[in-house]
A and B are shown apart, each in its own frame.
Chain A
């Protein structure tokens, strides 16, 4: 077990001008589960592969513990990786798959078997030890891939979207099991996903990447409540935060209704973007006028999509409300705001967060 440090780690893919990962600085504590999240092409998988040694570094360094592993071969890094498609050896049985790394380390057969059986016990794989991967279900294959990693007791676990090939229900269940297992083993883990729910529920901390650049690395709560910039604000949370661009035209207003930005020091000559989450808004009798477009009733909560006229264009907003909620398409409603509102400057950085209220 060890810490992991990315120190200005940079990777250019051949024949590209823009780095896939640009000067990544990250410190991952011993035993921590850090999630790398971002849209496709954000460099999250590349960053993980750099840590694995499967992608070379074009700048900076990566340390596992006190050891600079930047130029160390993958097989000498003492890491274990779970691949998205599991990458199980099709010609080997479950037991052989799980014991493969130990066999490479020349661990005696009886010790190997003991460790494989122990891991199989943890993962409920004992009845399947003699099967080939093709005779397993998706969930079982995923567990074998996990088993192959834990049998080794490595310094670091690397997981590249390990749940994305499972169906929705199994994914939620496995998510919890995986987090518990990591907690129990206490092995430093770097986990890549594009699913922000997975990131929020599993990560001790979550690092959000965009275009190879780290946007913010913080606890899930801080990412949600104190996003450092517009991208993080829009990326974290489902449905996404309502982000409205306001071009300077007197006092800041949303769909003609003046906003109370409280103590926020807003330059009224610069364009800004304001953001508020669906739960910070409610359907009321006063406030911003709009027209109902869709109502998503999930049973426990209802998301109402409302279109407002803002600075000469139609702007869709989402409001979260409690059931029962009845509205028809085209109904005239008003949106009132009573939660935090973030203000982002023209460059996208958050400049203020206020208690939102309409003036």
Chain B
């Protein structure tokens, strides 16, 4: 591209340039640890623990080690499967509960709908640490300790308020006349939801689902407190590598890369949808 560059009226060129450089620097600063992790994951332990260098022959051995090893109670693949199951199951339950709730709050709001919304979000005010003891006792009494079910329940509870808030704002973008038209056309509540609202709000629902998936996938605190053994998830497995073994930086990097991969891939795939979803309020 050459020729004329478009500038904001009144903006000075050198300010643009300086701001651009600063932005890139900050961006690089943020990205550096990830790059470091990525590079280390392809090194041998010796190289990874030695002075930092980019002159090395990349090897995928650490990855096969990670996939085959069982550092804690479970193997990495088992932990991976646990994570996937808990994440997907909790997200499905969240959507099943949050969609009708958000729909009701948008279309037929109760009188005190503001209070209801505030109540939802207020459940996130309490420090997690404060709730962990009662939760642990409850889980123990219900024989749910060290099961995947307890995490599905907790992650559902954790993501539900957020999902209701997000979905409500997306549903509000659906023109009211469309719902009225469907109502006059004889569609039942479920029919209106299924054939009018959901198709239109789909990008928003995708964005919500993705955030729930990411939050559930990354969750560490509940998992470590209530489910550190049989039902281990990936974050626990990765952390277990740190605490129980010596200096295995390269292997740990490989495990971390693998742990991040699903989130990165999901984010990549959903990027367009998600941005459209998150920007739904701004552009028509």
Question: Residues of A with Cβ closer than 8 Å to B?
Answer: 52-54, 73-77, 79-81, 83-85, 87, 89-92, 100-101, 104-105, 148, 152
What are the residues of chain A within 8 A of B195 when measuring CB–CB? 89, 92, 100
Inter-chain contact B185/A85, CB cutoff 8 Å: no
Q: A89-B196, A90-B200 are in contact. Are A75 and B175 (CB under 8 A)?
A: no
Among A53, A75, A83, the residue within 8 A (CB) of B187 is A75
Q: A89-B195, A104-B191 are in contact. Are A54 and B185 (CB under 8 A)?
A: no
Inter-chain contact B199/A91, CB cutoff 8 Å: yes
Q: A89-B195, A100-B185, A101-B186 are in contact. Are A83 and B200 (CB under 8 A)?
A: no
Q: A85-B177, A104-B191 are in contact. Are A75 and B184 (CB under 8 A)?
A: yes
Among A76, A77, A81, the residue within 8 A (CB) of B181 is A81
Inter-chain contact B183/A75, CB cutoff 8 Å: yes
What are the residues of chain A within 8 A of B199 when measuring CB–CB? 91
Of the four ranges (under 10, 10 to 19, 20 to 34, 35 or more), the interface on chain B belongs to 10 to 19
Report the nearest B residue to A77, measured CB to CB. B184
Expressed in whole angstroms, the minimum distance between the Cβ of A290 and any Cβ of chain B is 49
Expressed in whole angstroms, the minimum distance between the Cβ of A66 and any Cβ of chain B is 21
Q: A89-B196, A90-B200, A104-B191 are in contact. Are A74 and B178 (CB under 8 A)?
A: no
Inter-chain contact A74/B200, CB cutoff 8 Å: no
Sample (19) of A-B pairs whose CB atoms are under 8 Å apart? A54-B183, A74-B180, A75-B187, A80-B184, A80-B185, A81-B180, A83-B177, A87-B175, A87-B177, A87-B180, A87-B181, A89-B182, A91-B200, A92-B195, A100-B182, A100-B187, A101-B186, A104-B191, A105-B186
Expressed in whole angstroms, the minimum distance between the Cβ of B222 and any Cβ of chain A is 38
Residues 127 to 141 of chain B near chain A (Cβ within 8 Å): none
Expressed in whole angstroms, the minimum distance between the Cβ of A241 and any Cβ of chain B is 36
Among B181, B188, B191, B196, the residue within 8 A (CB) of A83 is B181
Q: A54-B180, A87-B180, A104-B191 are in contact. Are A148 and B185 (CB under 8 A)?
A: yes
User: What is the CA–CA distance of A105 and B188 in the complex, to the nearest angstrom?
Assistant: 10
User: What is the CA–CA distance of A92 and B177 in the complex, to the nearest angstrom?
Assistant: 16
Inter-chain contact B183/A74, CB cutoff 8 Å: yes
What are the residues of chain B within 8 A of A77 when measuring CB–CB? 184
Among B178, B187, B188, B191, the residue within 8 A (CB) of A87 is B178
Among B178, B180, B184, B186, the residue within 8 A (CB) of A89 is B178
Inter-chain contact B186/A75, CB cutoff 8 Å: yes
* Residue among B178, B187, B191, B199 with the highest chain A CB neighbour number at 10 A: B178
What are the residues of chain A within 8 A of B200 when measuring CB–CB? 90-91
Map CB proximity to A onto B188-225 as digits: 1 under 8 Å, 0 otherwise: 10010001100110000000000000000000000000
Report the nearest B residue to A96, measured CB to CB. B195
What are the residues of chain A within 8 A of B191 when measuring CB–CB? 104
Expressed in whole angstroms, the minimum distance between the Cβ of A150 and any Cβ of chain B is 13
What are the residues of chain B within 8 A of A105 when measuring CB–CB? 186
Expressed in whole angstroms, the minimum distance between the Cβ of B108 and any Cβ of chain A is 12
Inter-chain contact B187/A104, CB cutoff 8 Å: yes
Report the nearest A residue to B178, measured CB to CB. A87
Expressed in whole angstroms, the minimum distance between the Cβ of A90 and any Cβ of chain B is 6
Among A79, A84, A85, A90, the residue within 8 A (CB) of B184 is A79
- Cβ-closest 8 pairs across A and B: A87-B177, A91-B199, A101-B185, A104-B186, A87-B181, A75-B186, A74-B183, A83-B177
Inter-chain contact A104/B185, CB cutoff 8 Å: yes
What are the residues of chain B within 8 A of A52 when measuring CB–CB? 180, 184
Report the nearest A residue to B186, measured CB to CB. A104
User: What is the CA–CA distance of A80 and B195 in the complex, to the nearest angstrom?
Assistant: 18
Report the nearest B residue to A54, measured CB to CB. B180
Report the nearest A residue to B174, measured CB to CB. A90
User: What is the CA–CA distance of A180 and B272 in the complex, to the nearest angstrom?
Assistant: 47
User: What is the CA–CA distance of A105 and B200 in the complex, to the nearest angstrom?
Assistant: 23
What are the residues of chain B within 8 A of A79 when measuring CB–CB? 184
Report the nearest A residue to B185, measured CB to CB. A101
Other than A54-B180, A81-B180, A81-B184, give 12 A-B pairs with Cβ distance below 8 A: A74-B180, A74-B183, A75-B185, A75-B186, A76-B186, A85-B175, A87-B177, A100-B182, A100-B195, A104-B186, A148-B181, A148-B185
User: What is the CA–CA distance of A148 and B181 in the complex, to the nearest angstrom?
Assistant: 10
User: What is the CA–CA distance of A75 and B196 in the complex, to the nearest angstrom?
Assistant: 15
Report the nearest B residue to A84, measured CB to CB. B177
Expressed in whole angstroms, the minimum distance between the Cβ of A103 and any Cβ of chain B is 9
User: What is the CA–CA distance of A105 and B185 in the complex, to the nearest angstrom?
Assistant: 9
What are the residues of chain A within 8 A of B180 when measuring CB–CB? 52, 54, 74, 81, 83, 87
What are the residues of chain B within 8 A of A80 when measuring CB–CB? 184-185
Residues 54 to 72 of chain B near chain A (Cβ within 8 Å): none
What are the residues of chain B within 8 A of A92 when measuring CB–CB? 195
Map CB proximity to A onto B146-184 as digits: 1 under 8 Å, 0 otherwise: 000000000000000000000000000001011011111
Expressed in whole angstroms, the minimum distance between the Cβ of A73 and any Cβ of chain B is 8
Expressed in whole angstroms, the minimum distance between the Cβ of A142 and any Cβ of chain B is 14
User: What is the CA–CA distance of A92 and B188 in the complex, to the nearest angstrom?
Assistant: 18
